Structure 1
Amino acid sequence: MQQTAHSGCHREIVSIDDVFFSYEHKTVIDGLNFKVLERDFVGLIGSNGAGKTTLLRMIVGLLKPTRGEIRLFGEPLSTFRDWERIGYVPQKNSLNPLFPATVREVVTSGLYGKKNMFRRLSKAQLSKADDALYAMRIEDLADRRIGQLSGGQQQRVFLARALINNPELLILDEPTVGIDAETQAGFFRMIRHMHQHHHITFMMVSHDMDMVQSYLGEEAIQRSGSLSFYVKHTHTPEDCRETDLTHSMQQLRESMEVLT
Protein backbone atom coordinates (compact mmCIF):
# COMPACT_ATOMS: atom_id res chain seq x y z
CA MET A 1 0.00 0.00 0.00
CA GLN A 2 1.43 3.38 -1.01
CA GLN A 3 0.58 6.87 0.03
CA THR A 4 -1.49 8.90 -2.35
CA ALA A 5 -0.61 12.37 -3.52
CA HIS A 6 -1.99 15.25 -1.50
CA SER A 7 -3.15 18.55 -2.87
CA GLY A 8 -2.31 21.95 -1.51
CA CYS A 9 1.08 23.12 -0.36
CA HIS A 10 2.43 19.72 0.60
CA ARG A 11 5.27 18.76 -1.69
CA GLU A 12 7.10 15.48 -1.90
CA ILE A 13 10.08 15.93 0.39
CA VAL A 14 11.59 12.46 -0.08
CA SER A 15 10.76 10.28 -3.09
CA ILE A 16 12.06 6.70 -3.08
CA ASP A 17 11.52 4.95 -6.41
CA ASP A 18 12.23 1.23 -6.81
CA VAL A 19 15.28 1.37 -4.55
CA PHE A 20 17.45 -1.67 -3.88
CA PHE A 21 20.45 -1.92 -1.58
CA SER A 22 22.73 -4.93 -1.27
CA TYR A 23 25.62 -5.49 1.10
CA GLU A 24 28.09 -8.34 0.59
CA HIS A 25 25.68 -10.04 -1.83
CA LYS A 26 22.80 -9.79 0.67
CA THR A 27 19.80 -7.71 -0.36
CA VAL A 28 18.87 -5.40 2.52
CA ILE A 29 16.28 -3.24 0.73
CA ASP A 30 14.33 -4.81 -2.10
CA GLY A 31 12.45 -2.58 -4.55
CA LEU A 32 11.24 0.05 -2.07
CA ASN A 33 8.79 2.72 -3.22
CA PHE A 34 7.77 5.39 -0.72
CA LYS A 35 6.91 9.09 -0.60
CA VAL A 36 7.38 11.44 2.34
CA LEU A 37 5.18 14.51 2.07
CA GLU A 38 5.72 17.94 3.53
CA ARG A 39 5.12 17.94 7.32
CA ASP A 40 4.72 14.16 7.53
CA PHE A 41 6.07 12.39 10.58
CA VAL A 42 7.33 8.99 9.43
CA GLY A 43 8.30 6.33 11.95
CA LEU A 44 10.35 3.35 10.75
CA ILE A 45 10.12 0.11 12.69
CA GLY A 46 11.91 -3.13 11.90
CA SER A 47 14.07 -5.91 13.25
CA ASN A 48 17.86 -5.74 13.27
CA GLY A 49 19.10 -5.96 9.71
CA ALA A 50 15.80 -4.79 8.23
CA GLY A 51 17.49 -1.80 6.57
CA LYS A 52 16.26 1.06 8.77
CA THR A 53 19.60 2.79 9.24
CA THR A 54 20.66 1.85 5.70
CA LEU A 55 17.64 3.70 4.30
CA LEU A 56 18.34 6.84 6.34
CA ARG A 57 22.00 6.77 5.36
CA MET A 58 21.00 6.58 1.70
CA ILE A 59 18.65 9.53 2.10
CA VAL A 60 21.40 11.71 3.59
CA GLY A 61 23.88 10.67 0.91
CA LEU A 62 26.18 8.47 3.00
CA LEU A 63 25.32 5.35 1.00
CA LYS A 64 24.33 4.89 -2.65
CA PRO A 65 21.44 2.66 -3.71
CA THR A 66 22.40 -0.45 -5.63
CA ARG A 67 19.54 0.39 -7.96
CA GLY A 68 16.68 2.89 -8.13
CA GLU A 69 16.44 6.60 -7.39
CA ILE A 70 16.00 8.83 -4.37
CA ARG A 71 14.92 12.45 -4.80
CA LEU A 72 15.05 15.17 -2.17
CA PHE A 73 12.70 18.14 -2.62
CA GLY A 74 12.15 16.93 -6.20
CA GLU A 75 15.85 16.78 -7.11
CA PRO A 76 17.79 13.56 -7.73
CA LEU A 77 20.08 12.68 -4.84
CA SER A 78 23.03 12.56 -7.25
CA THR A 79 22.76 16.30 -7.93
CA PHE A 80 21.27 17.50 -4.63
CA ARG A 81 23.49 20.07 -2.89
CA ASP A 82 21.22 21.94 -0.45
CA TRP A 83 22.17 19.81 2.56
CA GLU A 84 21.49 22.66 4.98
CA ARG A 85 17.79 21.92 4.38
CA ILE A 86 18.26 18.59 6.17
CA GLY A 87 19.10 17.93 9.81
CA TYR A 88 20.47 14.49 10.69
CA VAL A 89 20.89 12.92 14.13
CA PRO A 90 22.77 9.61 13.75
CA GLN A 91 22.74 6.77 16.22
CA LYS A 92 24.30 7.66 19.56
CA ASN A 93 26.75 4.78 19.40
CA SER A 94 28.44 6.43 16.41
CA LEU A 95 30.08 8.91 18.81
CA ASN A 96 33.65 8.35 19.94
CA PRO A 97 33.56 9.37 23.64
CA LEU A 98 37.17 10.55 23.37
CA PHE A 99 36.35 12.96 20.54
CA PRO A 100 38.09 16.20 21.66
CA ALA A 101 35.34 18.72 20.91
CA THR A 102 33.25 20.95 23.12
CA VAL A 103 29.48 21.14 22.99
CA ARG A 104 29.65 24.53 21.27
CA GLU A 105 32.07 23.19 18.65
CA VAL A 106 29.83 20.21 17.89
CA VAL A 107 26.73 22.40 17.57
CA THR A 108 28.55 25.02 15.45
CA SER A 109 29.86 22.30 13.11
CA GLY A 110 26.30 22.06 11.80
CA LEU A 111 26.85 25.42 10.10
CA TYR A 112 29.67 24.16 7.93
CA GLY A 113 29.12 22.58 4.55
CA LYS A 114 30.82 22.36 1.19
CA LYS A 115 29.67 25.90 0.42
CA ASN A 116 31.36 27.51 3.42
CA MET A 117 33.80 24.92 4.74
CA PHE A 118 36.73 27.34 4.85
CA ARG A 119 34.92 30.57 5.64
CA ARG A 120 34.85 32.28 8.99
CA LEU A 121 31.39 32.15 10.53
CA SER A 122 29.49 35.41 10.68
CA LYS A 123 28.03 36.94 13.84
CA ALA A 124 24.58 35.94 12.61
CA GLN A 125 25.68 32.32 12.23
CA LEU A 126 27.27 32.27 15.67
CA SER A 127 24.04 33.70 17.04
CA LYS A 128 22.24 30.70 15.51
CA ALA A 129 24.48 28.43 17.57
CA ASP A 130 23.57 30.36 20.72
CA ASP A 131 19.87 30.04 19.84
CA ALA A 132 20.19 26.29 19.33
CA LEU A 133 22.08 25.83 22.62
CA TYR A 134 19.44 27.88 24.40
CA ALA A 135 16.52 26.02 22.84
CA MET A 136 17.92 22.64 23.90
CA ARG A 137 18.69 23.94 27.40
CA ILE A 138 22.38 23.16 27.09
CA GLU A 139 23.88 26.64 27.09
CA ASP A 140 25.47 25.92 30.45
CA LEU A 141 27.25 22.92 28.89
CA ALA A 142 28.73 24.88 25.97
CA ASP A 143 32.35 24.52 27.09
CA ARG A 144 32.12 20.89 28.24
CA ARG A 145 33.65 18.07 26.18
CA ILE A 146 30.96 16.08 24.37
CA GLY A 147 32.29 12.80 25.73
CA GLN A 148 31.75 13.99 29.32
CA LEU A 149 27.98 14.31 28.92
CA SER A 150 25.21 11.88 29.76
CA GLY A 151 23.34 10.11 26.97
CA GLY A 152 20.38 12.48 27.22
CA GLN A 153 22.65 15.54 27.16
CA GLN A 154 24.53 14.23 24.12
CA GLN A 155 21.29 13.74 22.22
CA ARG A 156 20.29 17.32 22.96
CA VAL A 157 23.65 18.44 21.57
CA PHE A 158 23.17 16.49 18.34
CA LEU A 159 19.61 17.71 18.00
CA ALA A 160 20.82 21.30 18.45
CA ARG A 161 23.40 20.68 15.73
CA ALA A 162 20.70 19.30 13.42
CA LEU A 163 18.36 22.25 14.07
CA ILE A 164 20.90 25.02 13.67
CA ASN A 165 20.07 25.67 10.00
CA ASN A 166 16.30 25.59 10.55
CA PRO A 167 15.94 22.38 8.50
CA GLU A 168 12.87 21.43 6.50
CA LEU A 169 13.57 17.71 7.00
CA LEU A 170 14.79 16.23 10.28
CA ILE A 171 16.10 12.65 10.25
CA LEU A 172 16.55 10.83 13.56
CA ASP A 173 18.18 7.40 13.80
CA GLU A 174 17.18 5.74 17.09
CA PRO A 175 17.66 8.98 19.02
CA THR A 176 16.86 7.51 22.44
CA VAL A 177 19.00 4.35 22.48
CA GLY A 178 20.86 4.14 25.79
CA ILE A 179 18.77 6.86 27.43
CA ASP A 180 16.69 6.24 30.54
CA ALA A 181 12.91 5.85 30.22
CA GLU A 182 12.04 9.23 31.75
CA THR A 183 14.36 11.08 29.38
CA GLN A 184 13.02 9.08 26.45
CA ALA A 185 9.47 10.13 27.28
CA GLY A 186 10.54 13.77 27.50
CA PHE A 187 12.39 13.56 24.21
CA PHE A 188 9.34 12.17 22.41
CA ARG A 189 7.12 14.89 23.89
CA MET A 190 9.59 17.45 22.60
CA ILE A 191 9.67 16.17 19.03
CA ARG A 192 5.87 15.83 18.98
CA HIS A 193 5.72 19.49 19.96
CA MET A 194 8.15 20.35 17.16
CA HIS A 195 6.07 18.46 14.61
CA GLN A 196 2.83 20.07 15.72
CA HIS A 197 4.11 23.65 15.92
CA HIS A 198 6.91 23.99 13.39
CA HIS A 199 7.27 23.54 9.66
CA ILE A 200 9.43 20.40 9.79
CA THR A 201 9.09 16.98 8.17
CA PHE A 202 10.31 14.06 10.30
CA MET A 203 11.72 10.63 9.56
CA MET A 204 12.64 8.62 12.63
CA VAL A 205 13.89 5.10 13.27
CA SER A 206 12.80 3.83 16.67
CA HIS A 207 12.79 0.56 18.57
CA ASP A 208 9.94 1.80 20.75
CA MET A 209 6.79 0.39 19.12
CA ASP A 210 4.51 1.77 21.84
CA MET A 211 5.78 5.32 21.37
CA VAL A 212 5.52 5.15 17.58
CA GLN A 213 2.00 3.78 17.63
CA SER A 214 0.80 6.19 20.33
CA TYR A 215 1.55 9.16 18.07
CA LEU A 216 1.52 7.77 14.54
CA GLY A 217 -1.30 5.23 14.81
CA GLU A 218 -1.71 1.52 15.39
CA GLU A 219 -1.38 0.41 11.77
CA ALA A 220 1.60 0.77 9.45
CA ILE A 221 0.72 2.62 6.26
CA GLN A 222 3.18 0.49 4.29
CA ARG A 223 5.42 -2.55 4.75
CA SER A 224 8.46 -3.54 2.72
CA GLY A 225 10.24 -6.71 3.75
CA SER A 226 10.83 -6.35 7.50
CA LEU A 227 10.42 -2.56 7.37
CA SER A 228 7.17 -0.97 8.58
CA PHE A 229 6.29 2.67 7.91
CA TYR A 230 3.98 4.51 10.32
CA VAL A 231 2.90 7.97 9.18
CA LYS A 232 1.13 10.92 10.73
CA HIS A 233 0.04 13.61 8.28
CA THR A 234 -0.27 17.26 9.23
CA HIS A 235 -1.93 18.47 6.08
CA THR A 236 -4.71 20.86 7.00
CA PRO A 237 -4.64 24.21 5.14
CA GLU A 238 -3.91 26.24 8.28
CA ASP A 239 -0.72 24.22 8.79
CA CYS A 240 0.68 25.29 5.42
CA ARG A 241 2.09 28.60 6.54
CA GLU A 242 5.85 28.69 6.98
CA THR A 243 7.15 29.05 10.54
CA ASP A 244 10.69 30.08 11.39
CA LEU A 245 12.08 27.81 14.06
CA THR A 246 14.73 30.37 14.95
CA HIS A 247 12.02 32.82 16.04
CA SER A 248 10.23 30.14 18.03
CA MET A 249 13.17 29.08 20.18
CA GLN A 250 11.54 30.18 23.40
CA GLN A 251 8.53 27.98 22.70
CA LEU A 252 10.82 25.08 21.85
CA ARG A 253 12.90 25.68 24.98
CA GLU A 254 9.76 25.46 27.11
CA SER A 255 9.03 22.05 25.62
CA MET A 256 12.45 20.93 26.82
CA GLU A 257 11.46 21.47 30.47
CA VAL A 258 10.41 17.81 30.60
CA LEU A 259 14.02 16.77 30.03
CA THR A 260 15.39 18.37 33.19
Structure 2
Amino acid sequence: MSGIPAQADSCHREIVALEQVSYAFGSQQVIENLSFTARERDFVGLIGANGAGKTTLLRMIVGLLKPDRGQIRLFGTPAKSFKDWHLIGYVPQRKQFNPLFPATVREVVLSGLYGRGKLLKRLSKADALRAEDAMDTLHIGELADKRIGALSGGQQQRVFLARALINNPKLLILDEPMVGIDAETQQNFFHLLRHMHQRHNMTFLMVSHDMEMVRSYLGQEPKQVSGKLSFYVRHSHDLEDCVETDLLHTLRKEGT
Protein backbone atom coordinates (compact mmCIF):
# COMPACT_ATOMS: atom_id res chain seq x y z
CA MET A 1 0.00 0.00 0.00
CA SER A 2 1.33 3.40 -0.93
CA GLY A 3 -0.54 5.25 1.80
CA ILE A 4 -1.91 7.74 -0.77
CA PRO A 5 -5.65 8.29 -0.40
CA ALA A 6 -7.66 6.72 -3.20
CA GLN A 7 -9.10 10.06 -4.28
CA ALA A 8 -5.68 11.67 -4.55
CA ASP A 9 -4.33 8.73 -6.54
CA SER A 10 -7.30 8.83 -8.93
CA CYS A 11 -6.48 12.45 -9.73
CA HIS A 12 -3.15 11.35 -11.20
CA ARG A 13 -4.21 8.38 -13.30
CA GLU A 14 -3.13 8.15 -16.91
CA ILE A 15 -5.66 9.62 -19.35
CA VAL A 16 -3.71 9.81 -22.64
CA ALA A 17 -0.41 8.01 -23.15
CA LEU A 18 1.65 8.19 -26.34
CA GLU A 19 4.52 5.73 -26.70
CA GLN A 20 6.97 6.21 -29.57
CA VAL A 21 4.19 7.37 -31.90
CA SER A 22 5.04 8.19 -35.52
CA TYR A 23 2.91 9.28 -38.45
CA ALA A 24 3.68 10.27 -42.04
CA PHE A 25 1.69 11.60 -44.96
CA GLY A 26 3.31 9.73 -47.81
CA SER A 27 7.02 10.61 -47.68
CA GLN A 28 6.47 13.54 -45.29
CA GLN A 29 7.21 12.57 -41.69
CA VAL A 30 4.84 14.61 -39.53
CA ILE A 31 5.31 13.05 -36.09
CA GLU A 32 8.27 10.88 -35.13
CA ASN A 33 8.86 8.82 -31.97
CA LEU A 34 6.61 10.98 -29.80
CA SER A 35 6.10 9.90 -26.19
CA PHE A 36 3.93 11.91 -23.82
CA THR A 37 1.49 11.30 -20.97
CA ALA A 38 -1.43 13.48 -19.89
CA ARG A 39 -2.80 12.66 -16.45
CA GLU A 40 -6.15 13.28 -14.87
CA ARG A 41 -6.87 17.00 -14.37
CA ASP A 42 -3.94 18.12 -16.51
CA PHE A 43 -4.51 21.05 -18.86
CA VAL A 44 -2.20 20.48 -21.82
CA GLY A 45 -1.58 23.28 -24.30
CA LEU A 46 -0.09 22.02 -27.56
CA ILE A 47 1.85 24.63 -29.54
CA GLY A 48 3.52 24.25 -32.90
CA ALA A 49 3.91 25.87 -36.30
CA ASN A 50 1.71 24.99 -39.25
CA GLY A 51 2.58 21.49 -40.41
CA ALA A 52 4.02 20.48 -37.04
CA GLY A 53 1.42 17.73 -36.63
CA LYS A 54 -0.89 19.24 -34.00
CA THR A 55 -4.20 18.38 -35.63
CA THR A 56 -2.82 15.05 -36.84
CA LEU A 57 -1.97 14.14 -33.26
CA LEU A 58 -5.47 15.04 -32.03
CA ARG A 59 -7.07 13.03 -34.83
CA MET A 60 -4.99 10.01 -33.82
CA ILE A 61 -6.02 10.38 -30.19
CA VAL A 62 -9.74 10.47 -31.07
CA GLY A 63 -9.37 7.49 -33.40
CA LEU A 64 -9.79 9.25 -36.74
CA LEU A 65 -6.24 8.31 -37.79
CA LYS A 66 -4.01 5.39 -36.82
CA PRO A 67 -0.30 5.87 -36.06
CA ASP A 68 2.20 4.25 -38.39
CA ARG A 69 4.21 3.11 -35.39
CA GLY A 70 3.89 3.22 -31.63
CA GLN A 71 0.93 2.98 -29.31
CA ILE A 72 -1.74 5.29 -27.95
CA ARG A 73 -3.60 4.44 -24.75
CA LEU A 74 -6.80 6.11 -23.57
CA PHE A 75 -7.73 5.74 -19.91
CA GLY A 76 -5.26 2.86 -19.74
CA THR A 77 -6.72 1.00 -22.74
CA PRO A 78 -5.01 0.69 -26.15
CA ALA A 79 -6.77 3.07 -28.55
CA LYS A 80 -7.36 0.28 -31.08
CA SER A 81 -9.59 -1.53 -28.57
CA PHE A 82 -11.00 1.51 -26.76
CA LYS A 83 -14.81 1.57 -26.68
CA ASP A 84 -15.79 4.25 -24.16
CA TRP A 85 -15.76 7.18 -26.57
CA HIS A 86 -18.43 8.96 -24.52
CA LEU A 87 -15.61 9.76 -22.07
CA ILE A 88 -14.06 12.05 -24.69
CA GLY A 89 -15.44 15.37 -25.88
CA TYR A 90 -13.95 16.70 -29.11
CA VAL A 91 -14.21 20.25 -30.48
CA PRO A 92 -12.65 20.23 -33.98
CA GLN A 93 -11.52 23.26 -35.92
CA ARG A 94 -14.40 25.42 -37.10
CA LYS A 95 -13.01 25.38 -40.64
CA GLN A 96 -13.89 21.67 -40.76
CA PHE A 97 -17.55 22.63 -40.38
CA ASN A 98 -19.68 23.49 -43.41
CA PRO A 99 -21.63 26.66 -42.46
CA LEU A 100 -24.32 25.70 -45.00
CA PHE A 101 -25.03 22.44 -43.18
CA PRO A 102 -28.83 22.51 -42.59
CA ALA A 103 -28.92 21.85 -38.85
CA THR A 104 -30.20 23.83 -35.91
CA VAL A 105 -28.24 24.50 -32.75
CA ARG A 106 -30.38 21.95 -30.89
CA GLU A 107 -29.70 19.29 -33.52
CA VAL A 108 -25.95 19.90 -33.41
CA VAL A 109 -25.88 19.67 -29.61
CA LEU A 110 -28.03 16.50 -29.64
CA SER A 111 -25.64 14.90 -32.13
CA GLY A 112 -23.14 14.67 -29.29
CA LEU A 113 -25.29 11.89 -27.80
CA TYR A 114 -24.81 9.63 -30.79
CA GLY A 115 -22.04 7.20 -29.94
CA ARG A 116 -19.96 5.42 -32.50
CA GLY A 117 -22.05 2.73 -34.16
CA LYS A 118 -25.25 4.21 -32.70
CA LEU A 119 -26.28 6.62 -35.39
CA LEU A 120 -29.85 5.30 -35.32
CA LYS A 121 -30.23 5.60 -31.57
CA ARG A 122 -33.64 6.93 -30.56
CA LEU A 123 -33.41 9.99 -28.38
CA SER A 124 -35.34 9.91 -25.13
CA LYS A 125 -37.01 12.70 -23.19
CA ALA A 126 -34.01 12.61 -20.86
CA ASP A 127 -31.72 13.16 -23.87
CA ALA A 128 -33.74 16.20 -24.91
CA LEU A 129 -33.56 17.60 -21.39
CA ARG A 130 -29.81 16.97 -21.37
CA ALA A 131 -29.43 18.99 -24.56
CA GLU A 132 -31.51 21.84 -23.11
CA ASP A 133 -29.31 21.77 -20.02
CA ALA A 134 -26.14 21.91 -22.13
CA MET A 135 -27.44 24.85 -24.16
CA ASP A 136 -28.57 26.77 -21.08
CA THR A 137 -25.21 26.13 -19.40
CA LEU A 138 -23.34 27.63 -22.36
CA HIS A 139 -25.85 30.51 -22.62
CA ILE A 140 -27.12 29.53 -26.07
CA GLY A 141 -30.59 28.32 -25.11
CA GLU A 142 -32.26 31.19 -26.96
CA LEU A 143 -30.44 30.10 -30.14
CA ALA A 144 -31.75 26.52 -30.07
CA ASP A 145 -33.88 26.79 -33.22
CA LYS A 146 -31.45 28.89 -35.25
CA ARG A 147 -29.39 27.40 -38.05
CA ILE A 148 -25.81 26.84 -36.91
CA GLY A 149 -24.45 28.62 -39.99
CA ALA A 150 -26.29 31.83 -39.06
CA LEU A 151 -24.39 32.25 -35.79
CA SER A 152 -21.28 34.28 -35.03
CA GLY A 153 -17.96 32.48 -34.58
CA GLY A 154 -18.13 32.78 -30.81
CA GLN A 155 -21.68 31.43 -30.70
CA GLN A 156 -20.70 28.50 -32.91
CA GLN A 157 -17.84 27.62 -30.57
CA ARG A 158 -20.23 27.55 -27.62
CA VAL A 159 -22.51 25.23 -29.60
CA PHE A 160 -19.63 22.87 -30.37
CA LEU A 161 -18.52 22.99 -26.73
CA ALA A 162 -22.07 22.18 -25.58
CA ARG A 163 -22.07 19.24 -27.99
CA ALA A 164 -18.75 18.04 -26.55
CA LEU A 165 -19.93 18.40 -22.94
CA ILE A 166 -23.33 16.75 -23.25
CA ASN A 167 -21.97 13.32 -22.25
CA ASN A 168 -20.11 14.71 -19.21
CA PRO A 169 -16.70 13.72 -20.64
CA LYS A 170 -13.55 13.16 -18.64
CA LEU A 171 -11.26 14.31 -21.48
CA LEU A 172 -11.96 17.43 -23.53
CA ILE A 173 -9.96 17.90 -26.74
CA LEU A 174 -10.06 21.26 -28.51
CA ASP A 175 -8.43 22.02 -31.84
CA GLU A 176 -7.77 25.76 -32.28
CA PRO A 177 -10.98 26.85 -30.51
CA MET A 178 -10.01 30.55 -30.58
CA VAL A 179 -9.54 30.89 -34.34
CA GLY A 180 -11.98 33.23 -36.07
CA ILE A 181 -13.51 34.79 -32.96
CA ASP A 182 -12.90 38.29 -31.60
CA ALA A 183 -10.51 39.02 -28.74
CA GLU A 184 -13.20 39.56 -26.09
CA THR A 185 -14.96 36.31 -27.00
CA GLN A 186 -11.63 34.50 -26.91
CA GLN A 187 -11.00 35.75 -23.38
CA ASN A 188 -14.49 34.74 -22.23
CA PHE A 189 -14.18 31.31 -23.81
CA PHE A 190 -10.76 30.67 -22.28
CA HIS A 191 -12.05 31.87 -18.90
CA LEU A 192 -14.74 29.20 -19.12
CA LEU A 193 -12.14 26.52 -19.91
CA ARG A 194 -9.95 27.63 -16.99
CA HIS A 195 -12.94 27.54 -14.65
CA MET A 196 -13.84 24.02 -15.77
CA HIS A 197 -10.26 22.88 -15.27
CA GLN A 198 -9.93 24.37 -11.81
CA ARG A 199 -13.29 23.17 -10.50
CA HIS A 200 -14.06 19.89 -12.26
CA ASN A 201 -12.59 16.46 -12.70
CA MET A 202 -11.58 16.86 -16.33
CA THR A 203 -8.45 16.68 -18.43
CA PHE A 204 -7.92 19.17 -21.28
CA LEU A 205 -5.84 18.91 -24.43
CA MET A 206 -5.96 22.10 -26.49
CA VAL A 207 -4.15 23.09 -29.66
CA SER A 208 -3.56 26.83 -29.97
CA HIS A 209 -1.49 29.37 -31.88
CA ASP A 210 -2.00 31.95 -29.12
CA MET A 211 1.23 31.67 -27.15
CA GLU A 212 0.36 34.54 -24.82
CA MET A 213 -2.97 33.06 -23.78
CA VAL A 214 -1.54 29.58 -23.26
CA ARG A 215 1.46 30.81 -21.30
CA SER A 216 -0.66 33.09 -19.12
CA TYR A 217 -2.30 30.01 -17.60
CA LEU A 218 0.05 27.10 -18.25
CA GLY A 219 3.40 28.78 -17.62
CA GLN A 220 6.18 30.29 -19.67
CA GLU A 221 8.16 27.13 -20.36
CA PRO A 222 6.93 23.92 -21.99
CA LYS A 223 7.06 20.73 -19.98
CA GLN A 224 8.22 18.84 -23.04
CA VAL A 225 9.39 19.56 -26.58
CA SER A 226 9.24 16.86 -29.24
CA GLY A 227 10.23 17.79 -32.76
CA LYS A 228 8.22 20.89 -33.64
CA LEU A 229 5.65 20.31 -30.89
CA SER A 230 5.75 21.96 -27.47
CA PHE A 231 3.60 20.71 -24.58
CA TYR A 232 2.65 23.19 -21.85
CA VAL A 233 1.07 21.52 -18.82
CA ARG A 234 -0.70 22.66 -15.69
CA HIS A 235 -2.20 20.27 -13.14
CA SER A 236 -5.04 21.52 -10.99
CA HIS A 237 -6.83 19.66 -8.22
CA ASP A 238 -7.83 19.73 -4.60
CA LEU A 239 -8.58 16.47 -2.82
CA GLU A 240 -12.08 17.56 -1.90
CA ASP A 241 -12.80 18.31 -5.57
CA CYS A 242 -11.51 14.99 -6.87
CA VAL A 243 -14.91 13.33 -7.11
CA GLU A 244 -17.32 12.33 -9.84
CA THR A 245 -19.64 15.21 -10.75
CA ASP A 246 -22.26 16.02 -13.33
CA LEU A 247 -20.45 18.79 -15.15
CA LEU A 248 -23.43 20.54 -16.68
CA HIS A 249 -25.37 20.56 -13.39
CA THR A 250 -22.49 22.01 -11.39
CA LEU A 251 -21.56 24.57 -14.06
CA ARG A 252 -25.11 25.89 -14.01
CA LYS A 253 -25.10 25.93 -10.20
CA GLU A 254 -21.88 27.93 -10.23
CA GLY A 255 -23.36 30.40 -12.70
CA THR A 256 -20.49 30.12 -15.17
Is TM > 0.5 for Structure 1 vs Structure 2? yes
Q: Which residue of 2 aligns with 1:217?
A: 219
Question: Is 1:8–1:237's contact at 8 Å kept on the other side of the alignment?
Answer: no
Query: Residue 29 of structure 2 aligns to a residue in which SS?
Result: strand
Higher mean displacement: 232-241 or 151-160: 232-241
Q: Is the 8 A contact 1:104 1:143 kept in 2?
A: yes
Q: 2:171 aligns with which of 162, 166, 169?
A: 169
Once the two structures are superposed, residues 24-61 of structure 1 have per-residue CA deviations (whole angstroms, 9 ceiling, x without a partner) of 21110010000000010000000000111110000000
Other-structure match for 1:14: 16
CA-based RMSD of the aligned residues comes to 1.2
Q: What one-letter code is carried by the residue in structure 1 that aligns with 2:45? A: G
Q: Structure 2 residue aligned with 1:76, among 61, 75, 78?
A: 78
Unaligned runs of 5+ in 1: 1-6, 256-260
Cα distance in 2 for partners of 1:249, 1:237 equals 19
Task: Work out whether residues 146 and 154 of structure 1, in 8 Å CA contact, stay in contact via their aligned partners in 2.
Answer: yes
What is the aligned partner in structure 2 of residue 135 from structure 1?
137
Structure 2 Cα separation of the partners of residues 187 and 249 of structure 1: 14
Q: CA deviation at 1:162?
A: 0.1
Q: Assess if the C-alpha contact under 8 Å between 2:60 and 2:67 holds in 1.
A: yes
User: What is the CA–CA distance in structure 2 between the aligned matches of 1:195 and 1:65, rounded to whole Å?
Assistant: 29
Q: Which amino acid aligns with 1:136?
A: L
Counterpart-to-counterpart distance in 2, 1:244 and 1:44: 27
Count residues in correspondence: 248
Cα distance in 2, alignment partners of residues 240 and 180 from structure 1: 34
Residue-by-residue CA offset, 1:139-186 (whole Å, 9 max, x unaligned): 110000111100000000000000000000000000010100010011
Question: 1:164 and 1:50 mapped to 2: Cα distance?
Answer: 31
Q: What is aligned with 2:3?
A: none
What is the aligned partner in structure 2 of residue 153 from structure 1? 155
Aligned counterpart, 1:187: 189
Q: Which amino acid aligns with 1:26?
A: Q
Q: Could you tell me which residue of structure 1 aligns to residue 128 of structure 2?
A: 126
Q: How does 1:45-60 map to 2 (within 5 A)?
A: 45-60=47-62
Counterpart of 2:20 in 1: which secondary structure?
Answer: strand
Give TM-score scaled by structure 2 length. 0.94
- Relative to structure 1, the CA distance from residue 117 to residue 141 in structure 2 (aligned partners, 3 Å threshold; closer, same or farther) is same
CA distance in 2, matches of 1:119, 1:242: 26
Aligned-residue offset at 1:101: 0.5
Q: Deviations over 1:169-223 (max 9, x none)?
A: 0000000101000100111111000101111100000111011111001110000
Letter in 1 for 2:22: F
CA drift at 1:243: 2.1
Give how far 1:77 is off.
0.6
Q: Structure 1 runs of 4+ off > 3 angstroms?
A: none
Residue 237 (structure 1) aligns with: 239
- Provide the rounded CA distance (Å) in 2 between the counterparts of 1:251 and 1:228: 36
Contact 2:170 2:202 in 1 (8 A): yes
